[in-house]
């Protein structure tokens, strides 16, 4: 449930972030946002993006399983194909069958996700990727419509996925969603929380991404305790590292340090007040530790005064030009373990219906093989998970299993039939962003007739 | 500093550019016995060999340049496979040492054919197409050598600004067809003598196997290599074409300026460096020693800037190196220290980039800042966040008194200085911050340090550690100007 608040209240909240005053010139961004009615929530919701850096091989993640489709897949990448019998246990039986007898199976490692699919908590998005507008193959070939810039380039497509523009972008759609809900949260700092470093996805036009470690916040010890036995030196250190500066790079460093000290004080106290989660996470896996921290921050939501939060976690190593069979299954196992445990934790916390997680990646990969790996592609398959998701379904159209077929632009690089923009709009709408504010989050959403992919019940 | 004072800047640069590479990393690893067959899957020695170099080698300009090149021509232990990965990277570091002041064309060839890069970006084992299996050449190195190591994604004017098409958008410098063509060129490369007994093969260039090379026609960057052209000849054409592309000078020149001097060089600065890249004055293109000299002696590098946006954020690794250099740190047991990648250390460690895109990107625009509003980039801010600023400060707070692993500083000749808080802070200011700490900051530091009574050597050490930590954490120091 959301209610519009006044622009004045919004400015007051953002003013508390320290973004007015000396830094006022770029706070002019506020004008656009403030005019568009910041939204204030009274319930709790969270979005969680799990980004697989490197470009996940979608064809070995969600694999054609009907006989025709599987045989085509196997014929195109004979040395890389998952044996069909290994897919039997994770073959999906959706509530609404795919057309033309098509079937798909999750990778054999994704047993936890299979359980969530069957339980109706997980939906599969077929052939989704970066677009500027709906694009047919004929339009792609004729270059008659705008295409995402710098296709097939890792860093740029990561950025386009997260921010709708290539490297150098300064705000992403997760952060722009956060912008609209800063006033819903007592501490704006905890609106956009990344547990895996810097991701443009998490920066809004106003919202900063708070970057926390999988173990929680790190206390700047020298400013908190006597430094080498000297309180005077500790005080001086704190003054030096937090004082506003006129040099802009210096000032940014001290702004971050101030945020670090303030956020640590709040977050460490809030986390310490929570009972241990009974849900077990595999702490040997970095992505599980990241999602465990997300769960703990959600657990502390009341102590933090948080009603709307966007989280970011990531796992790298998916750029399998080589060693696809040797390495990809292990990564998928980690993703599966982490997402299954995270969903269980949201159930434990009683917020499963308030938390939606989704996967993302630079791009999909080629269907064709380069020997023991695949190359950079475009469209991919992803999942959305949560109690609010209408699961046990596919969303989108299964692509033709072919090289240079109807749905690919060469070597099986899929031309997306669903856009990241549409995914973003669907999630934002569920989160509470009004239809009129959607363009603030997804600037190109006006290019799409379908603005909601329909995966929320 | 003494060398510069004695020889002048030009003389010091001459001497540094002429100084041969310091003692071999590879030989150090061998002397430690890490080349034993039984240890081939261990990476022990990787970080240690780097710290030994960066902290103590006399060829400082070469090492500084090599470190910069490891961030442009990235190879990381994360993503390498195979035997003796530390030896692959020692060979790579030495390749950079030997070629960093030579020509770009030569460096490009050595990098391209190195086992380390071959493993990292999969040119090693890259094979020709096979219609029966659907196999096509691996595109990884073809793509990244263009995007990251030579010309970049968009066409550049000589001053590094993008060239725009009639639609006002930057002109892209290549397309997928070029990647497909170049990938064919880069087929047929294998290990030269793979074995499990000795790492020696890891420092040989990759070997060419003509039977695995694509003989199809190859088109890229406006060049066509006819079908059935031999692999080595195709490679020469490709490397010549890339190295002669007009983008290389401004593309790499700008990034080297960013690594060495400032985040946002003026177009004129880039143009001056690119002009030296195009011709070093003796008709040689791509002479990197001349490029480094041009970068460091440019008026924009030599003049203390006044703009509130000038300079660059010092990299965490370089702050740590500076601590060690200033205090003559050494490792008595020759065991040095391990990775500093953890966010509770430096959040950065040489040869441990998370990907070929380095720890930070040259085009990183810090969001929600006055810098970003001006379209300015600050690459190092990409790894600067609430966690890493605290992690770095805590790490250095521990390192100052305790050292890092076996790396211990020597504060003996600072003890006398420490009796005088003002003199101590002045010395720290000079040696760490080139005297650029402001009067207000100096006063804050002096007053705080003076609050520790210098009655014992322990107290004097506390003064030294406190003064240094305050400097190392002060934004005025952290931004190199």
The pLDDT value recorded for residue A14 is 45
Task: List strand residue ranges (DSSP E) for B137-278, in order.
Answer: 189-190, 207-208, 218-220, 223-225
**From CA B144, how far away is CA B128, in angstroms rounded?**
19
**From CA B48, how far away is CA B52, in angstroms rounded?**
6
Domain boundary among B184, B215, B243: B243
Q: Which of residues 33-92 of A touch B (CB under 8 A)?
A: 53-54, 75-79
**From CA A96, how far away is CA A108, in angstroms rounded?**
22
Chain B hits for A71, Cβ within 8 Å: none
C-alpha separations of B199 from A455, B40, B399 in Å:
54, 8, 34
Round the average pLDDT of chain B to a whole number and report it. Answer: 97
User: Does the structure's ipTM exceed the value 0.95?
Assistant: yes
- B428 plus B328 within the same structural domain: yes
Chain A hits for B448, Cβ within 8 Å: 230, 232-233, 235-237
Phi, psi at A395, each rounded to 5°? -120, 130
Chain B hits for A54, Cβ within 8 Å: 355
* Both tokens assigned to B402: 């305790």
- pLDDT band at residue A34 under the 50/70/90 scheme: very low
- pLDDT band at residue B3 under the 50/70/90 scheme: confident
**From CA B126, how far away is CA A373, in angstroms rounded?**
11
Question: Would you say residue A17 has pLDDT above 50?
Answer: no
* Both tokens assigned to B114: 């190195």
Phi, psi at B74, each rounded to 5°? -70, 130
Chain A hits for B147, Cβ within 8 Å: 153
The pLDDT value recorded for residue A16 is 41
Minimal Cα distance from A238: which residue of B?
B470
Domain that holds residue B163: 2-243
Is there a domain that residue B249 lies in? no
* Both tokens assigned to A316: 């790298």
Q: Which of residues 370-389 of A touch B (CB under 8 A)?
A: 370-373, 375-376
Please state the rounded mean pLDDT for residues B307-317: 98
Is there a domain that residue B38 lies in? yes
Is there a domain that residue B279 lies in? no
Q: Are A364 and A378 in contact (CB under 8 A)?
A: yes
Please state the rounded mean pLDDT for residues A440-452: 97
Q: What digits encode the pLDDT tens for the residues A69-126?
A: 999 999 999 999 999 999 999 999 999 999 999 999 999 999 999 999 999 999 999 9
- B131 plus B219 within the same structural domain: yes
Is there a domain that residue A146 lies in? yes
Question: CB within 8 A of A133, min separation 6: which ones?
Answer: A145, A146, A419, A444, A447, A448
Domain that holds residue A331: 2-447
The pLDDT value recorded for residue A39 is 63
The pLDDT value recorded for residue A457 is 83
State how many domains chain A has. 1
Note whether A220 contacts B: Cβ–Cβ < 8 A: yes
The pLDDT value recorded for residue A41 is 80
Query: Nearest-CA distance from A280 to chain B in Å?
Result: 24
State how many domains chain B has. 2
| pTM of the predicted structure, to 2 decimals | 0.94
The pLDDT value recorded for residue B378 is 98
Domain boundary among B243, B263, B290: B243
- pLDDT band at residue A19 under the 50/70/90 scheme: very low
Question: CB within 8 A of A448, min separation 6: which ones?
Answer: A133, A134, A419, A421, A422, A425
CB–CB contact B476 A257 (8 Å): no
When CB atoms are compared, the residue of A219, A252, A371 closest to B138 is A371
The pLDDT value recorded for residue A38 is 54
- pLDDT band at residue B431 under the 50/70/90 scheme: very high
Q: What digits encode the pLDDT tens for the residues B77-126?
A: 998 999 999 999 999 999 999 999 999 999 999 999 999 999 999 999 99
Note whether A410 contacts B: Cβ–Cβ < 8 A: yes
Round the average pLDDT of chain A to a whole number and report it. Answer: 92
Q: Are A421 and A353 in contact (CB under 8 A)?
A: no
**Can you list the pairs that B442-447 forms with residues at least 24 positions away whose Cβ atoms lie under 8 Å?**
B444/A236, B444/A239, B444/A240, B444/B470, B445/A236, B445/A240, B445/B470, B445/B471, B446/B421, B446/B422, B447/A232, B447/A236, B447/B421
Q: What digits encode the pLDDT tens for the residues A209-237?
A: 999 999 999 999 999 999 999 999 999 99
Q: Are A422 and A35 in contact (CB under 8 A)?
A: no
* Both tokens assigned to A82: 């998952």
**Can you list the pairs that B54-57 forms with residues at least 24 positions away whose Cβ atoms lie under 8 Å?**
B54/B317, B54/B321, B54/B324, B54/B350, B55/B321, B55/B324, B55/B325, B55/B329, B55/B330, B55/B336, B55/B407, B56/B330, B57/B22, B57/B23
Is there a domain that residue A456 lies in? no
Q: Are A288 and A337 in contact (CB under 8 A)?
A: yes
**From CA A107, how far away is CA A88, in angstroms rounded?**
10
Q: Which of A229, A232, A240 would you mutate first to test chain B, the one with the most B CBs within 10 A?
A: A240
CB–CB contact B473 A237 (8 Å): yes
Note whether A142 contacts B: Cβ–Cβ < 8 A: no
Domain boundary among B200, B225, B243: B243
Query: Nearest-CA distance from B235 to chain A in Å?
Result: 19
Q: Are B133 and A78 in contact (CB under 8 A)?
A: yes
* Both tokens assigned to B165: 């098409």
Minimal Cα distance from A218: which residue of B?
B387
When CB atoms are compared, the residue of A232, A376, A410 closest to B143 is A376
Is there a domain that residue B282 lies in? no
Query: Nearest-CA distance from B283 to chain A in Å?
Result: 35
Q: What digits encode the pLDDT tens for the residues B177-223?
A: 999 999 999 999 999 999 999 999 999 999 999 999 999 999 999 99
Is there a domain that residue A348 lies in? yes
Please state the rounded mean pLDDT for residues A57-77: 98
- Chain centroid offset of residue A117 CA: 19
Q: What digits encode the pLDDT tens for the residues B326-339?
A: 999 999 999 999 99
Please state the rounded mean pLDDT for residues A10-21: 41
> In the beta sheet, which residues pair with residue B155?
none
**From CA A398, how far away is CA A405, in angstroms rounded?**
13
CB–CB contact B475 A198 (8 Å): no
Q: Which of B117, B308, B378, B390 would you mutate first to test chain A, the one with the most A CBs within 10 A?
A: B390
Minimal Cα distance from A263: which residue of B?
B386
Would you tell me how many other CB atoms lie within 10 Å of the CB of residue B401? 15
Task: List strand residue ranges (DSSP E) for A221-348, in order.
Answer: 308-315
Phi, psi at A358, each rounded to 5°? -150, 155
Is there a domain that residue B293 lies in? no
- B330 plus B221 within the same structural domain: no
């Amino acid at each position: 449930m959301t209610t519009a608040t006044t622009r004045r209240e919004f400015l007051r909240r953002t003013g508390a972030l320290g973004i007015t005053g000396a830094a006022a010139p770029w706070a002019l961004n506020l004008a656009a946002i403030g005019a568009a009615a910041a939204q204030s929530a009274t319930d709790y919701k969270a979005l969680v993006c799990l980004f697989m850096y490197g470009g996940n091989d979608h064809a070995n993640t969600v694999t054609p399983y009907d006989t025709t489709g599987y045989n085509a897949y196997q014929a195109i990448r004979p040395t890389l194909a998952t044996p069909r019998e290994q897919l039997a246990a994770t073959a999906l039986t959706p509530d609404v069958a795919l057309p033309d007898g098509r079937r798909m199976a999750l990778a054999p490692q994704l047993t936890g996700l299979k359980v969530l699919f069957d339980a109706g908590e997980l939906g599969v998005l077929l052939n989704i990727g970066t677009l500027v507008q709906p694009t047919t193959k004929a339009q792609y070939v004729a270059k008659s419509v705008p295409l995402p810039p710098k296709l097939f380039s890792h860093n740029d497509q990561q950025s386009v996925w997260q921010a709708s523009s290539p490297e150098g972008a300064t705000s992403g759609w997760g952060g722009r969603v956060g912008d609209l809900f800063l006033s819903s949260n007592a501490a704006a700092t905890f609106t956009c929380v990344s547990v895996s470093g810097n991701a443009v996805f998490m920066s809004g036009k106003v919202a900063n991404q708070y970057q926390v470690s999988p173990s929680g916040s790190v206390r700047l010890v020298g400013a908190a305790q006597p430094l080498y036995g000297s309180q005077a030196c500790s005080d001086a250190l704190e003054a030096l590292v937090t004082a506003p500066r006129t040099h802009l790079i210096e000032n940014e460093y001290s702004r971050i340090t101030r945020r670090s000290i303030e956020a640590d004080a709040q977050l460490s106290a809030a986390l310490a007040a929570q009972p241990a989660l009974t849900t077990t996470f595999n702490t040997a896996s970095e992505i599980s530790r990241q999602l465990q921290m997300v769960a703990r921050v959600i657990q502390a939501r009341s102590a933090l005064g948080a009603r709307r939060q966007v989280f970011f976690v990531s796992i790298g190593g998916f750029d399998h030009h080589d060693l696809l069979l040797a390495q990809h299954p292990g990564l998928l196992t980690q993703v599966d373990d982490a997402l299954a445990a995270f969903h269980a934790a949201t159930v434990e916390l009683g917020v499963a219906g308030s938390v939606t997680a989704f996967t993302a990646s630079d791009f999909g990969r080629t269907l064709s093989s380069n020997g023991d790996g695949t190359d950079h592609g475009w469209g991919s398959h992803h999942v959305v998970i949560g109690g609010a998701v209408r699961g046990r379904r596919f969303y989108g159209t299964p692509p033709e299993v072919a090289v240079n077929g109807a749905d690919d632009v060469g070597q099986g690089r899929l031309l997306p039939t669903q856009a990241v923009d549409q995914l973003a709009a669907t999630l934002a709408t569920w989160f509470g962003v009004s239809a009129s504010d959607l363009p603030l989050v997804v600037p190109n959403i006006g290019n799409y007739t379908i603005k909601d992919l329909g995966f929320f019940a | 500093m003494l060398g510069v004072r004695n020889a002048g800047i030009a003389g010091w640069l001459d001497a540094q550019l002429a100084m041969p590479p310091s003692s071999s990393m590879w030989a150090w690893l061998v002397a430690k016995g890490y080349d034993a067959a039984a240890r081939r899957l261990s990476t022990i020695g990787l970080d240690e060999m780097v710290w030994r170099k960066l902290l103590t080698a006399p060829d400082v300009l070469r090492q500084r340049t090599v470190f910069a090149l490891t961030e442009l021509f990235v190879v990381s232990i994360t993503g390498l496979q195979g035997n003796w990965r530390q030896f692959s990277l020692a060979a790579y570091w030495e390749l950079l040492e030997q070629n960093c002041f030579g020509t770009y064309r030569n460096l490009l060839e050595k990098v391209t054919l190195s086992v380390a890069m071959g493993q990292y970006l999969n040119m090693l084992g890259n094979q020709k197409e096979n219609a029966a299996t659907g196999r096509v050449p691996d595109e990884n190195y073809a793509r990244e050598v263009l995007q990251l190591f030579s010309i970049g994604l968009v066409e550049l004017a000589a001053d590094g600004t993008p060239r725009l098409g009639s639609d006002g958008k930057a002109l892209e410098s290549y397309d997928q067809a070029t990647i497909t063509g170049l990938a064919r060129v880069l087929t047929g490369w294998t290990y030269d003598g793979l074995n499990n007994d000795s790492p020696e093969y890891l420092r040989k260039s990759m070997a060419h196997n003509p039977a695995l090379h694509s003989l199809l026609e190859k088109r890229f960057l406006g060049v066509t290599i006819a079908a059935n052209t031999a692999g080595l000849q195709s490679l020469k054409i490709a490397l010549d074409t890339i190295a002669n592309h007009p983008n290389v000078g401004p593309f790499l020149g700008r990034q080297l300026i960013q690594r060495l001097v400032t985040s946002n060089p003026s177009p004129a600065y880039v143009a001056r460096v690119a002009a030296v890249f195009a011709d070093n004055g003796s008709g040689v293109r791509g002479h990197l020693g001349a490029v480094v000299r041009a970068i460091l002696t440019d008026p924009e590098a030599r003049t203390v800037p006044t703009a509130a946006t000038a300079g660059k954020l010092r990299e965490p690794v370089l702050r740590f190196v500076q601590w060690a250099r200033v205090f003559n740190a050494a490792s008595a047991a020759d065991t040095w220290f391990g990775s500093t990648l953890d966010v509770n250390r430096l959040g950065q460690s040489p040869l441990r980039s998370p990907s070929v895109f380095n720890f930070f990107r040259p085009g990183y625009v810090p969001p929600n800042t006055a810098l970003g509003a001006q379209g300015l980039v600050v690459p190092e801010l990409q790894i600067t966040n609430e966690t890493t600023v605290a992690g770095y400060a805590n790490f250095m707070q521990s390192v100052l008194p305790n050292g890092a692993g076996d790396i211990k500083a020597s504060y003996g000749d600072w003890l006398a200085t420490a009796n005088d808080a003002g003199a101590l802070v002045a010395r720290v200011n000079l040696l760490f911050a080139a005297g650029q700490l402001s009067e207000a900051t100096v006063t804050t530091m002096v007053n705080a340090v003076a609050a520790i009574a210098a009655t014992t050597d322990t107290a004097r050490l506390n003064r030294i550690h406190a003064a240094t930590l305050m400097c190392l954490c002060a934004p005025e120091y952290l931004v190199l100007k």
